[in-house]
Amino acid sequence: MALLDILHFPDPRLRRKALPVEVVDDALKKTVEDMFETMYDAPGIGLAATQVNILQQVAVIDVSEDKNEPRCLINPNIIEREGEEEMREGCLSVPEIFAHVKRAQKVTVEALDLEGKPMTLEAEGLLAVCIQHEIDHLQGKLFIDYLSPLKRDRLKKKLLKAQKTAQTEPSGARAPSL
Ligand code: GNR
Ligand code: NI
């Protein structure tokens, strides 16, 4: 098991499209284990392979209170959407930013499980939101893409400034402002 590094916006690698998994083998299972460990450690309710610089269509999810309902989706594909719902979202790749996003209230997803067997999952509420958020990652899309260009630009500036501060002040000390 190993913790993986999570990429942060505006890293261009978050924009790459993941490729379908062709065989569910031991190497992939190891990747999935590491992704679960990274997600629980963060902590987050979901993690897409794109976020840890792996270009395969794999996402791990656990929206349960007790963190005991791990789900792994391989080559996920939404085949049905129903209704509309707005939820406040966050993302491990866009730290400390939260914004409301409108998504389908209910989705039906086809995917492979860890045995490589096809499965169908019907989801609503937080699970449905999380599935849509993770599938977006696999297509190079981030939740902030749903915001107005003005809001997104403000967030980008705020994040770049925070990242710069973190780089020049690793100790956490703040230089006096001039
Ligand atoms: O941990 C996460 N919480 C969350 C909250 C609302 C909507 C989506 C999410 S997913 C996020 C983890 C993450 O970045 N997954 O890609
Ligand atoms: Ni995310």
65 a catalytic residue: no
Round to whole Å and give the CA distance between 26 and 118: 18
Rounded average pLDDT over 9-17: 96
pTM confidence score: 0.92
Which residue would you say has higher pLDDT here, 172 or 121?
A: 121
63 token code pair: 């929206």
Q: Among 91-105, 113-127, 145-159, where is mean pLDDT lowest?
A: 145-159
Look at residue 115 and tell me whether its pLDDT is greater than 70. Answer: yes
Atom of ligand 1 nearest to the CA of 101: 7
- Ligand 1 atom 13, closest CA: 91
- Say how many Å lie between the CA of residue 169 and the centre of ligand 1: 28
Structure confidence by residue, pLDDT tens digits, 41-64:
999 999 999 999 999 999 999 999
- Say how many Å lie between the CA of residue 52 and the centre of ligand 2: 11
* For ligand 1, mutation pick of 63, 89, 105, 126 (most atoms within 8 Å of CB): 89
Q: What pLDDT, on a 0 to 100 scale, did the predictor assign at position 163?
A: 84
- Say how many Å lie between the CA of residue 175 and the centre of ligand 2: 32
Q: What pLDDT, on a 0 to 100 scale, did the predictor assign at position 164?
A: 86
Q: What pLDDT, on a 0 to 100 scale, did the predictor assign at position 98?
A: 92
Atom of ligand 1 nearest to the CA of 94: 14
Round to whole Å and give the CA distance between 132 and 151: 21
- Say how many Å lie between the CA of residue 90 and the centre of ligand 2: 7
Structure confidence by residue, pLDDT tens digits, 126-147:
999 999 999 999 999 999 999 9
Spatial contact of 56 and 17, defined as CB atoms under 8 Å apart: no
Bridge-based pairing state of the strands 106-112 and 71-82:
antiparallel
Atom of ligand 1 nearest to the CA of 134: 16
Look at residue 174 and tell me whether its pLDDT is greater than 90. Answer: no
Q: At residue 145, what is the residue type?
A: D
